Amino acid sequence: MRTTRNIGICFLILFSWILHVRGEDVSTLSKRQETLDLAARLLAPQEAAVVPQSHDLMNPFSAQRRGADEQRTSRPVGTDREILEKIAATMQMPTGMMMFRGRPMLLFREKSLGVGARLKIPVDGVDYIVVITAIEPTSFRLGLNREEIARPIKPGNQNP
């Protein structure tokens, strides 16, 4: 009997606390009016500020602007083979080759790359993505689109 009375008192205290907390969710009349006034001020139509425009603006649809944009974003002129030769000439040479789990890997200092790895190489301000298509003990092949070029892993002695 005594435990049911204690449980009843606990429930009564809990419900009174819940009602007290829930009662704080409803704001007073003055707070609601302040919120409504702020909303009316924020939603009221305002005059758009006139920004003076300079007369040297270019029409975005003019041929002059298109020509300037094309000059900035144009790719170097040449076939994929010529571009691939430029990329191969500027590319860092691998320091060696190793076999890892039966697959050949090229070593570039701390990095190792296998067949199918993609490299992003900038040439003349344009980023090209070349793919390592094959790795042999003394050379590897790079591919760009449908063209391929072979490069030695360790360049031989250049002096005769």
Does residue 77 carry a pLDDT above 80?
no
pLDDT of residue 56: 62
Give how far Cα 65 sits from Cα of 59, 61, 78, 94, Å: 7, 7, 24, 43
Please tell me the distance from the alpha carbon of residue 32 to that of residue 59, in angstroms, as a whole number: 50
Tokens of 23: 């009662």
Q: Which of 43, 30, 38, 132 is nearest to 88 (CA)?
A: 132
* Residue 120, pLDDT above cutoff 70: yes
DSSP state of 125: T
By CB atoms closer than 10 A (0-12, 13-18, 19+), residue 38 is exposed
Share of the chain above pLDDT 70, in %: 71
pLDDT score recorded for residue 24: 59
| Residues 124/76, Cβ–Cβ less than 8 Å | yes
Confidence band, pLDDT 50/70/90 cuts, at residue 37: very high
**132 touches 113 (CB < 8 A):** yes
pLDDT of residue 159: 47
* Percent of the chain's residues with pLDDT above 90: 2
What are the residues whose beta carbons fall under 8 Å from the beta carbon of 126, sequence distance 6 or more?
A: 75, 76
Q: Does 134 or 63 have the greater pLDDT score? A: 134
**pLDDT beyond 70 at 62:** no
What was the pLDDT predicted at 76?
A: 54
Q: pLDDT band at 72, cuts 50/70/90? A: low
For position 156, what pLDDT does the model report?
Answer: 44
